[in-house]
Structure formats: C-alpha cells, structure tokens
Amino acid sequence: MANIREIAKVAGVSVATVSRVLNGYPYVKEEKRKAVWEAVEKLNYTKNINAVHLAKGKTSIVGVVLPYVNHPYFGAIVEGISREALRYGYHLLLFQTNYEVQKELEALEMLRMKQVDGLIICSRIVSWDVIDVYKDDGPIVLCEDVKGRDVLSVYINHYEAFLFAMKYLMNKGHRKIGYCIGRTTGTNSKAREAAYYDALRNIHESPRKEWIFDHCLYIEDGKRVVNEWLALPEKPTALLVSSDQVAAGIVLWGRREGINIPEDLAVFSFDNHPIAEALEITTMDLPLSLMGTKAFRMIYQCLETGKIAKKSEKLDARLIERSSV
C-alpha cells in the first residue's frame, strides 16, 4: 500500500506538500496540486488513519459504554448519540459491559490509551473513585445525576418523574402500589426508589418487599411479574413499571390470565416506546434520544473548544395519559 512518501516521489514534490494537498490547505500551486492528485489516483492511495491519529493525538472516536446493546432503552440513547456523531464526523466505539466492572474498566482504559477521545457512560456499576482516576484523560459524560461531582452529565430527572407518577396513581385512589425495576443498584434506580419511598411515606403506607419486582428489563419479565402478582396473598392495585417493555409484558400476560387493566391492576410505565401506544399504556415520555444527542454535544464541545458551557443538564419526563391507569 502506497504511502505519502511514494506519492511525493511520483508527484515530484515533498511530503509536506502532499499533506497540504490532501488536507486542503492553501499555498500550493495549482500545478503541483494537480500532480499530487494524479499520483494519488495512479497509486490508488489512501491515508493510514492510524498514523493520523498518532500524529494528531486524537481519533475522532467517542466510546459508548452500556450494559446491553439490544435493549430499546439503550438503543434509543445510542440512536441519539449516533445521529449527532454522524453530523460532526465522529465515530462510535461500542462497549457492551453486561454491568461487569472489568468491561467498564476496559472502556476507561481505552480513554487513557487514547483509543477514544471521550466517553459516554449510559449506565455503570464501577464506583466514583474509579471514574475519578480517569477524568483527566478526556471528557466523560454520564447519563445520571452526578450530584455536583466533577464530571459532565446529562440525565433524566427520574426522581421527579417517579414521584409524579406516584401522585398520579394516588389521585386515582391507589394506595397499594408496587413497582418493577431493572436493577436496584445504580443512581437512576436509587432515585426512583427514593421517590417511591417518599411518596408512600406521604400517605403513611409502609413499603412491602414482595411488591418490589427486581430484574425487570424485557417483555418476558412481565410474565414473571404477573405470575408473582397472582400468587400474592395481598396484591397491590397498581404497579409502577420502569420500562414500557416490561409493562407491555404485564399487560399482555395479564390479559391472558384474565386480569382487567386498569380495574384489577393499574399499570403506569416509563419510556413511551411505540409498544406503549399500541397497548394504550399510560407512561412518561423519557427523552432518551435527546439525552444521547446532548451527551455527544457535551463531549464534542469539550473536545473542540476545551470549554464547558454547562456541566450538568437535567431533562424532564412528560406524562402520556392513556388508559392503563
């Protein structure tokens, strides 16, 4: 494969001139410019981008850290990141972690090694001190409330959203409310949990362990929830479900079991995916794609200007009222 030196030789110019032509810099005589392009054509030359990366000290690649690539929640975020990255000529390196510390560390190491210029962490399990170690190696944006810590972040106000949903259910007369969540660890989950407990406290209800369903991520998890709900001696009359996917599962398997929604069981969900519309599930619209877009922009701005306009941005959810409550 030809390199810039060969081009220089064939075109009868210096490598510096070739580089100038290749990168569209001024101050090159039209004649030489042409000679260079001809040589490029003739030798079927292309830049070796690794050499560019090394020389420039940057890659125009942003790393995306997420537990599962194949979940609509993260799919929506990645979509938002991807769209914006495309606009600015950046590429995306995917780090699927399955919430394994090792994998997350690897992504952070890649930032240090300059494999990526910046990192967007959609969800994590590593502790703050670990992230702190890497924060001088490049911009890191987290999709969670970092509560004043010295890292960039764009996040959805899950506390408010959950609280809002709880109040909505209470206004409809519900007092016995359970909830379904993907995992109980993690900032976002904690925020939701806090809202749940706070809301219950307000009406002097004490939370019950058996009304909290963990590991709810996919449609099929709704089946499990329905079965467990059916087996409950005392049942909640409403369920707050952190994902439309799971809510859809609950509604669908619930129907098959003859459960009337919302009469027997009200379902209030989050995300506002198309499936929620199709099933007429009341949900909170979460601006996931927007969050991805904003996360990328933060990285981008940091990279290009070195400045940070806003260190942290909070995004609000929006009620989509349908008939599952």
Sites of contact with DNA (CB under 7 A)? 1, 3-5, 12-17, 19-20, 22-23, 26-29, 31-32, 45-48, 51-52, 54-57
Q: How many CA atoms within 13 Å lie on the side-chain side of 39?
A: 25
For a copy of itself, which is the closer residue by CB, 47 or 310? 47
DSSP 154-208: EEE-HHHHHHHHHHHHHHTT---EEEE-S-S-SHHHHHHHHHHHHHHHHTT----
Instruction: Find the shortest distance in angstroms from Cβ 46 to DNA.
Output: 7
109 lies in the binding site for a copy of itself (CB under 8 A):
yes
Closest C-alpha to 286, from 165, 136, 147: 165
Q: Residue 260 in contact with residue 231, Cβ under 8 Å?
A: no
Closer residue to DNA, CB minimum distance, 56 or 209: 56
Exactly one of 23, 24, 41, 113 binds a copy of itself (CB under 8 A); which one? Answer: 113
User: Which single residue is written with the structure tokens 């449609």?
Assistant: 219
Q: How far is the C-alpha of 225 from the C-alpha of 238, rounded, in Å?
A: 12
The only residue of 32, 75, 160, 315 in contact with a copy of itself, by rule CB under 8 A: 75
Residue 109 vs 257, nearer CB to DNA: 109
- Residue 282's SS3 state is strand
Classified as helix, coil or strand, 129 is: helix
- Token representation of residue 184: 């109980």
Which CB sits closer to DNA, 50 or 206? 50
Q: Which is nearer to a copy of itself, 16 or 51 (CB)?
A: 51
User: Which listed option, a copy of itself, DNA, none, makes contact with residue 29 (CB within 5 to 8 Å by class)?
Assistant: DNA
Question: Between β-strands 266-271 and 282-285, what pairing exists: parallel, antiparallel or unpaired?
Answer: parallel
Choose one: 146-154, 164-172, 180-188, 212-220; the region binding a copy of itself (CB under 8 A). Answer: 212-220
16: partner contacted, choices DNA, a copy of itself, none (Cβ within 5-8 A by kind)? DNA
Is residue 70 a contact point for a copy of itself (CB under 8 A)? Answer: yes
The 276-305 contact track toward a copy of itself, x by CB under 8 A, reads -xxx--------------------------
On whether the CB atoms of residues 69 and 125 are closer than 8 A, the answer is no
Helix or strand (DSSP H, E) at 90: none
| Dihedral Cα 209, 245, 284, 184, nearest 10 deg | 30
Which stretches of the chain bind a copy of itself, using CB under 8 A? 46-51, 53-54, 59, 61, 68-72, 75-76, 78-79, 82-83, 86, 91-96, 103, 109-110, 112-115, 218-220, 222-223, 248-249, 252-253, 274-275, 277-279
